[in-house]
Chain A
Amino acid sequence: AQSVSQHNHHVILSEAASLELGCNYSYGGTVNLFWYVQYPGQHLQLLLKYFSGDPLVKGIKGFEAEFIKSKFSFNLRKPSVQWSDTAEYFCAVRRSNDYKLSFGAGTTVTVRA
Chain B
Amino acid sequence: NAGVTQTPKFQVLKTGQSMTLQCAQDMNHNSMYWYRQDPGMGLRLIYYSASEGTTDKGEVPNGYNVSRLNKREFSLRLESAAPSQTSVYFCASSEAQGLVTDTQYFGPGTRLTVL
Contacts and interface: CB of A to CB of B under 8 A. Distances in A.
Interface of A: 4, 9, 32, 34, 36, 42-46, 49, 51-52, 90, 94, 96, 99-101, 103-106
A106 B100 contact: no
Given A99-B48, A99-B97, A43 B42 contact: no
Contacts of A36: 106
B27 interface: no
A23 to B, nearest CB: 11
B45 A101 contact: yes
Nearest to A45: B106
Contact of A4 (B42, B100, B102, B107): B42
B108 A43 contact: yes
Contacts of A34: 103
Interface of B: 4, 31, 40-45, 48, 50, 58, 90, 97-98, 100-109
B94 to A, nearest CB: 9
A105 B106 contact: no
A90 B106 CA distance: 13
Main secondary structure of the interface of B (DSSP, over half): loop
5 contacts: A34-B103, A94-B102, A103-B43, A105-B40, A106-B42
B108 A99 contact: no
A83 B14 CA distance: 39
A99 B42 contact: no
Given A43-B90, A96-B100, A104 B42 contact: yes
A90 B97 contact: no
Nearest to A104: B42
Contacts of A103: 42-44
B106 A44 contact: yes
Contact of A105 (B42, B104, B107): B42
B58 to A, nearest CB: 8
Nearest to B59: A100
A7 to B, nearest CB: 14
A103 B40 CA distance: 11
Nearest to A4: B42
A106 to B, nearest CB: 6
